[in-house]
Structures are given as structure tokens and as C-alpha cells.
Amino acid sequence: MKKIIFILTLILGLFNFKVFAQSRQSHGGNLNIGVGLGYYGYIGHPATALTLNYEFDAAKNFTLAPFIGFYSYSKNYYWGNKNYPDRYYRYREIAVPIGLKGAYYFDNALDAGSKWDFYAAASLGFTFHRVTWETGYYGDQNIIREASPLFLAGHIGTRYHFTPKAGIFLDLSTGLSTVGLSLKL
């Protein structure tokens, strides 16, 4: 009896491993929610950012992922003139990058296990940028930044799957580096 239970357990275990490994052949269908440090040149220094993207398979080992991000920054600026007293005025900058990320997965080339994904990627997009000033500030309201609203960023990253439906990822980028949760939908 113990031998039959052992054999059945072994067969079921191998079947589950095979199903999990087969499900990893597709890298698409992942919703990635991340938090990280972003710098597109709009705010003038890195700022905490939130991101969301959804990957879908475009070809073998290649995904496309539409994405959106959000980051904000506040700062006090000292200003005054003969009509307005010198004091600190607060302003807030908001940047919302939207675009498309293409990723090539090197899992097969690296002989990575079924729980790991490794990729290199590039993203292309547009950033909506807005600056708002505190009421009562009448000085120069242009925050000069050298960044174009159009951007291109390079990425390298990895994802570890706890289960076939959930994992974590790390994405290191020239624009917005993030760590977060990856859900297979």
C-alpha cells in the first residue's frame, strides 16, 4: 500500500511540475504592479514612483507591455519682490509616463528553472508633466528641465514565481527602476 501511495504521489508531482514548466513557456498574461525610483529628468532628481503594466506575448520569448507610471514631488521655493514679501512658496511637480515596453526573455539560453525569468527590454513612451504653484506666488512659474516628453529607456530584470499565478520582480532601468508584484491573469 505504501508503495502505491508513493508511486501515485510521484506521478502527481511530476505531472504538476510538467504543467508548471509548460505554463512558463508563455511570458505574457502578467500584470505587474511596482514601486520604485524614477528619473526622467522632469523633476530634476529621482523620486518615488508607482507603475502598472500588462505583458502579452508578441513572439516566442518576446512580450509587449503597455504601461503607465506616476510620480510626484513637492518643494518650497523662496521668492519675493517689492510687491510681495519674501517667503517660501510651495510647488508640486507630477510626471505620468505612458508607453510600451518590449522584453526579450533569456530563460532558455540561461537554462533558468521554471520559477525564474530573466529579460532585457526597452521602453518607448511619452511623459505628461505638470507643475502647480501655491496660490499667491507671482514669480516665474517655469521650472526649466532639459528632458523631452518623448523618452526611451533600457531595462534588465528578473522575476521569481512563488506559484504559477504569483511572483515578484525587479526591473533595473535607465528611466524607472522598480520592484513589485507580478500576477498571472
The pLDDT of residue 106: 94
Q: How many residues does the chain have?
A: 185
d(CA 144, CA 80) in angstroms, rounded, equals: 19
Q: What is the pTM of this model?
A: 0.76
Please report, in tens digits, the pLDDT of each residue of the chain (185 residues total): 555 555 545 444 444 444 344 444 688 999 999 999 876 565 566 788 999 999 999 999 999 999 999 988 888 888 888 888 888 888 888 889 999 999 999 998 888 888 999 999 999 999 888 888 888 777 777 766 666 788 889 999 999 999 999 999 999 998 888 999 999 99
The pLDDT of residue 61: 93
Let me know the angle formed at the C-alpha of 168 by 69 and 25, rounded to the nearest 5 degrees: 100
d(CA 87, CA 77) in angstroms, rounded, equals: 8
The pLDDT of residue 100: 97
The pLDDT of residue 73: 82
The pLDDT of residue 84: 80
The pLDDT of residue 151: 82
User: Which CATH fold would you assign to the domain 27-184?
Assistant: Porin (2.40.160)
Instruction: Copy the grid coordinates of residue 36.
Output: 520604485
Instruction: Copy the grid coordinates of residue 43.
Output: 523633476
Domain borders along the chain are 27-184
Please name which of 141, 23, 123 lies closest in space to residue 79, comparing C-alpha atoms. 141
DSSP string of the chain, one letter each residue: -HHHHHHHHHHHHHHHHHHHHHHTT---SEEEEEEEEE-SSSSSS-EEEEEEEEEEEEETTEEEEEEEEEEEEEEEEEE--SSS--EEEEEEEEEEEEEEEEEEE-HHHHT--TTEEEEEEEEEEEEEEEEEE-TT--S---------SEEEEEEEEEEEEEETTEEEEEEEESSEEEEEEEEE-
Task: Tell me the C-alpha to C-alpha distance, in Å, between residue 80 and each of 77, 88, 135, 142.
Answer: 10, 9, 14, 16
Amino acid at 72: S
